[in-house]
Amino acid sequence: MSLPKKNKSKFLSFVSLPLVAFALVALAVPAPASAASAYISPATGLITNSSFKVSIYVESSATEPQIASTHIKISYPADVNVVSIDNGDFDSYIQKETNAATREISVNAVNNAGSYKTGKVKVASVNFGTQLTTGQVQLTISSSSEINGAGGEQLLTETINGVYSLDISAETTTPTVESTPAATTTEVASAEVPATGGNNFVYYMIVSTALITLGIMTFIKGPAKLQRS
C-alpha cells in the first residue's frame, strides 16, 4: 500500500527537517583544536638565596596532541646571570644557549620519531645567580616560542611566565677558629744519684795506706825468715 502523493511529501519533510537541523548544529560547533602550553615552574615565589633554579615545562591539552619538538625562548632581567641549563625529558637537545647581550635563553629540543610525548613534559631546568638583594625578577616566555606536533603543526596557545620577589639578607661570614689541642706534658722521673761525701774519701785513703804498709812489712819480714833458716 502506497501513501498518497500529498501525504508522502509531508512524511519526507517531517524526516528531513531534523536531519538538516542536526547538520547545522554540527557545523556551528567547532571541533576541539589541538593545543599546548609552555610555562615556568614555579610561577611565583620568594627568592631568599643568591642562587636559585626554575624549570620549564610544555604540556599538551584538549585532545592531548603528541609533542615532537619545542623551541622555548625566555628573557631574563639585568643583574641576573644564567649559571647553567640542565636537560629535561626530551630525547635530544639541538640548542641550549644564553645571549647575555639580549638577555635571552634559547632551548631547542626534539623527541625521536615513535617516542613523541603527551601531557606534561619537562624541557629544561635553569640555574640562575643574582647580585640583587631586593626587588623583583621576571622571566618571560617569548611569543616566538614554538611547540610542534607530530605533523609539524604549531601547538602553542598559552604561556605562563615566572615572577619572583627578592629578599636576600646580607651574608655575614663568621670566621671559624680551630682550637689547637693543649700540649700534654709528661713528667719524667729522674733517678736519684747517691751523694758522695768527703769523709768517705779520707776513710778509703787511710785504709788503703794501711794495707799498703802491711804488705810492705810482710814482704821485708819474709826474706829475713829465709836467711835464719
Over residues 95-149, the pLDDT tens digits come to 999 999 999 999 999 999 888 999 999 999 999 999 999 999 999 999 999 999 9
SS3 of the chain: helix, strand, coil, percent, to 5: 25, 40, 35
In a domain, 15, yes or no: no
> Does residue 95 form part of some domain?
yes
What range defines the domain where residue 107 resides?
A: 35-167
For residue 62, tell me if it sits in a domain: yes
With respect to residue 39, please indicate whether it lies within any of the assigned structural domains.
yes
User: pLDDT digit string (tens) for 23-33?
Assistant: 444 444 444 45
User: Does residue 199 form part of some domain?
Assistant: no
Q: Nearest CA to 41 among 154, 108, 122, 111? A: 122
Dump pLDDT digits (tens) for 46-55.
999 999 999 9
Q: Considering the chain, what is the average pLDDT of its residues? A: 76
CA distances from 118 to 32, 35, 36, 60, 65 (A): 16, 11, 10, 6, 6
In terms of phi and psi (left: phi > 0; alpha: psi -120 to 50; beta: otherwise), the region of 62 is: left
Q: How many helices (H) and strands (E) does the chain have?
A: 2, 12
> Is 139 within 8 Å of 54 (Cβ atoms)?
yes
Residue 45 sits in a domain of what CATH number?
A: 2.60.40.680
Structural domains of the chain, count? 1
What pLDDT does residue 205 have? 65
Q: Specify if 115 maps to a domain.
A: yes
Q: Quick one: pLDDT at residue 174?
A: 35
Model confidence band, residue 221 (pLDDT cutoffs 50, 70, 90): low
Question: For residues 57 and 125, what is the distance between their CA atoms, to the nearest angstrom?
Answer: 9
Instruction: Provide the residue count of the chain.
Output: 229
Residue 61: its pLDDT value, please?
A: 74
pTM to 2 decimal places? 0.61
Q: Is residue 151 part of a domain?
A: yes
